Amino acid sequence: MVSLGICLSPGDWPLSGFEQATGGKVLRRFAWADHPQVERMQVEGEQPAREPRDDAAKDARQRVDLALQTLDYTQPPAPELLADLKRLVESHDVDDLVRRRAAIALARLGSRAPSGVVSLKQVLTEVKSGKEPASTLLWVLPALGRYGSLAYDTAADLALIAFDSHYPEEIQLSAIAALVEMGATREGLTVIEKLLTNRHLPLELRTAGMQGVIAYRQEASMLLPQVMRWLDDEDFALRAMAAEAIGGFGERAMVAEERLAAMFLDDPAPLARESAGQALLAISPQPPLWIINIYDETVTEIAKVEAAMSSESLASISGRIADELQAELALRLAALRLRQLEILRLMGSTRDWPQRVTNPAGRPAASELNQWKLWRVRFAAALKSDSLKVSLMALEILLRSNALESVEWQPVIQRGLLSSSPEERRATVMLFQKYPWDARCQTWLEGLLKDLQGQTLQVEGQTSAIHAQRGAEQRLETLQRTDGVADRQVVQQAATHQRRLLSQQIAAVRAALRAVETRKVPAP
């Protein structure tokens, strides 16, 4: 996802209170300590923070500091406050931290204070003429970007800054981000096209270009040929961003379906595969039918591999060859199950099946209704998978789609809550915390809890019996000791482990019950 905007700290702190608590030299160090330009500024001998010499600027600063503490950014500011903010942005007699905070306030007001963009443009002009230091751009450019269409006439200047190597990279990135945030302009699209075309640029600049395509969406669809070339980039993050950008083009990018399909099935990076799958659904009016075929082939292959791993022919082979075959089959099975899980996640989490089928704007298209029926059968079948992750994913899809009717969900829940894996128990409890269940589920969980409590009492009884026999069996224990571990100790260790596991399982069931009580819905 694209994240473009203005950092509100440290410039968003109350100015006067900050200076009263610290000296001027400390103010400068704190304000810029984490900024890439700090070392360069110190070398250049920039002066520390100072009090305004001009009384008008000082008064404006104090008024702004008080007003911003209660300012409602959803309403136009008072004319006096707007004038003070503009005065501080333009002033050379106040510290950069003060000007930066005023610029941030204007940017947050945006179209509710349209005249504020004039002051920002003036500062940009002074930077170009050399009257202002280049570091000023670090707060001017983001503020201009926030103003959107009101700052379109500065796009040409921002485009020049983006490719001017005399500026530090952070300023170039700030110019690109501002172009993207203000919306699609001819200059912005030109900058992005150049960033996508030149693969010799630093990774940060190339990434900024791809973020611009994602932000512009269909307005940048003419760049589809350039974006498609990035699907083969060595950097998996850029491949994923390219797929996301293509998805933003919508049906205009249908020509990329085959390439995205290959990426979804074969890319080694999970993030790239996920982005390609999401893009496939975004550019298609309906989920492609070939995904069903791929899913069915995957399930068939899983069954074949599982059969091969348990076959008598493999069991008859002994030694190193058998171990290597088992390891190879295990890797193959893991890869197939991962593909099954990713397809389920894609089809279940990105399509709003219940709204599209049961409550559409009009009557649902027959093809879409048929697709839901086809996938629902597969979701239900996946509940019986040997992989608990696959079963839990299928169950969550059915829960989200309100399609649990006539589905046997109890075996999956029992496997999850009684799993020896803490992660699997937590994932199962999460289903109760995220989705509402009815009273029938509560009754079933209460029965499961009683069974576990009964098993706990049984284990504790066996342990007490072992302790009662300890004195009588002490001599026999010494005689039966094998490899330094007594049979009784082995039994005790097993009982301790079982008690611990039962305690964890009971805790998981109780957590599920608490969640059901919180989100319970009436039984039909």
Q: 164-194 pLDDT, tens per residue?
A: 989 999 999 999 999 999 998 999 999 999 9
**Residue 475 pLDDT > 60, yes or no?**
no
Residue 337 belongs to some domain of the structure = no
Q: How far apart are CA 473 and CA 481, in angstroms?
A: 12
Q: How far apart are CA 222 and CA 165, in angstroms?
A: 27
Is the dihedral angle over the CA atoms 35, 36, 39, 44 positive or is it negative? negative
How far CA 61 is from CA of 32, 54, 85, 181, 346, in Å, comes to: 20, 11, 8, 28, 53
The CA-to-CA distance between both ends of the chain, in Å, stands at 41
Residue 261 belongs to some domain of the structure = no
Query: Residue 461's pLDDT is what?
Result: 73
Q: pLDDT tens, 15-49?
A: 333 333 333 333 333 333 334 443 444 334 444 44
Residue 398 belongs to some domain of the structure = no
**Residue 234 pLDDT > 80, yes or no?**
yes
Q: Domain range for residue 36? A: 15-183
Q: Which pLDDT band, with edges at 50, 70 and 90, does 201 fall under?
A: confident
Calculate mean pLDDT across residues 364-388. Answer: 85
**Residue 360 pLDDT > 70, yes or no?**
no
Residue 414 belongs to some domain of the structure = no
Q: How far apart are CA 207 and CA 195, in angstroms?
A: 9
Q: pLDDT tens, 128-162?
A: 999 999 999 999 999 999 999 999 999 999 999 99
Domain boundary at 117, 149, 183, which? Answer: 183
* Number of domains composing the chain: 2
Domain boundary at 183, 214, 248, which? Answer: 183
The mean pLDDT of the chain is 82
Residue 335 belongs to some domain of the structure = no
Query: Residue 262's pLDDT is what?
Result: 95
**Residue 356 pLDDT > 90, yes or no?**
no
Q: How far is C-alpha 243 from the geometric centre of its chain's CA atoms?
A: 16
Most confident of 23-27, 80-84, 197-201, 421-425: 421-425
Residue 522 belongs to some domain of the structure = yes
Residue 518 belongs to some domain of the structure = yes
Q: Name the more confident of 69 and 186.
A: 186
Q: Could you give the angle at which helices 410-417 and 439-468 cross, rounded to 10 degrees?
A: 40
Q: pLDDT tens, 409-419?
A: 999 999 999 99
Query: Residue 477's pLDDT is what?
Result: 53
Q: Name the more confident of 499 and 43.
A: 499
Q: Which residues of 480-498 are buried (b: 16+ CB within 10 A; e: fewer)?
A: eeeeeebebeeebeeeeeb
Q: pLDDT tens, 103-121?
A: 989 999 988 999 999 999 9
Q: Phi and psi for 437 in degrees, rounded to 5?
A: -125, 155
Q: Phi and psi for 359 in degrees, rounded to 5?
A: -145, 60
3 state SS of 483: coil
Report whether 326 contacts 314 (CB < 8 A). Answer: yes
Specify the amino acid at residue 452. Answer: L
Q: pLDDT tens, 72-112?
A: 888 999 998 899 899 889 988 888 888 988 998 999 998 89
Both tokens of 310, joined, read 């348990």
Q: How far apart are CA 428 and CA 412, in angstroms?
A: 9
Domain boundary at 183, 218, 239, which? Answer: 183
Q: pLDDT tens, 501-510?
A: 999 999 999 9
Both tokens of 136, joined, read 């000023």
Calculate mean pLDDT across residues 356-380. Answer: 70
Residue 47 belongs to some domain of the structure = yes
Percent of the chain whose pLDDT exceeds 90: 55
Judged on CB neighbours under 10 Å (0-12, 13-18, 19+), 473 is: middle
Query: Residue 498's pLDDT is what?
Result: 87
Q: Which pLDDT band, with edges at 50, 70 and 90, does 377 fall under?
A: very high
Most confident of 93-102, 257-266, 302-311, 399-408: 257-266
**Residue 310 pLDDT > 50, yes or no?**
yes
Both tokens of 408, joined, read 């046997």
